[in-house]
Amino acid sequence: MDNESVYINYFENAAVKLKELQHSPEKPCFFHLPNRYDLAEMDEAIRSSAKETVMLLDAYESDLSEASGDNNIEVINAAFYIIERSDSRDLTSIKATRSRCAIIGNKVIAKLRKDSRAKRSGNASAFPFKEFKFKVNVTSVGPMGDQYYGKLFQFELLSSVDVVFKEDDWL
């Protein structure tokens, strides 16, 4: 499975298992945005949600670098939004909404840390990435779509990537 599919599956599974979200095909609240910052895709995802609270996983983007020798690293520039419908005319309501979204997003970040630590402790199946770098940028967002406000969480995940020249690939 490619790293992008692993990325999407990991966060969708988190949305399925997190009590505040409980994403399912019948009541979707998790959406992958294939193009970063595409407002039309965000609006469509929000309209498609069957719940008030929504998790939007931003597009898969990465940087490649050499760690040592043939060990290459892919730095995944990961980001997700937790947003919720709020009364856009009431600043107190917007602040409360953003606060709830921060709490939910922090639970996803806590799962990343737990899974990453479990992998370092020998449970390789706990975390599909090489490492989670615990430096998270959290930004307030909104209004989005129909009065949605919340938080954007941005961070890096490290993964191994095969970038090796093979003579057989060339004419």
- What pLDDT, on the 0 to 100 scale, is given for residue 47? 80
How many Cβ atoms are within 10 Å of 111's Cβ, its own excluded? 18
pLDDT surpasses 70 at 70: no
User: What average pLDDT score do residues 130-151 get?
Assistant: 88
Q: Residue for token digits 């967002």? A: 141
H or E, element range at 156: strand 148-161
Q: Which amino acid is at 98?
A: R
Task: Say how many CA atoms lie within 13 Å of 111 toward its Cβ.
Answer: 17
- Token pair for residue 50? 């069957």
- Token pair for residue 28? 């979707």
Which of these ranges, 30-39, 54-63, 105-114, 120-129, has the smallest mean pLDDT?
120-129
Secondary structure of 67-96 as H, E, C letters: EECCEEEEEEEEEEEEEEECCCCCHHHHHH
Q: How confident is the model at residue 69 (pLDDT cuts 50, 70, 90)?
A: low
Give just the sign of the alpha carbon dihedral 89, 94, 96, 101. Answer: positive
pLDDT surpasses 80 at 88: no
Domains plus CATH for the chain? Answer: 3-163 (3.30.2000)
- Token pair for residue 163? 């970038």
pLDDT surpasses 80 at 164: no
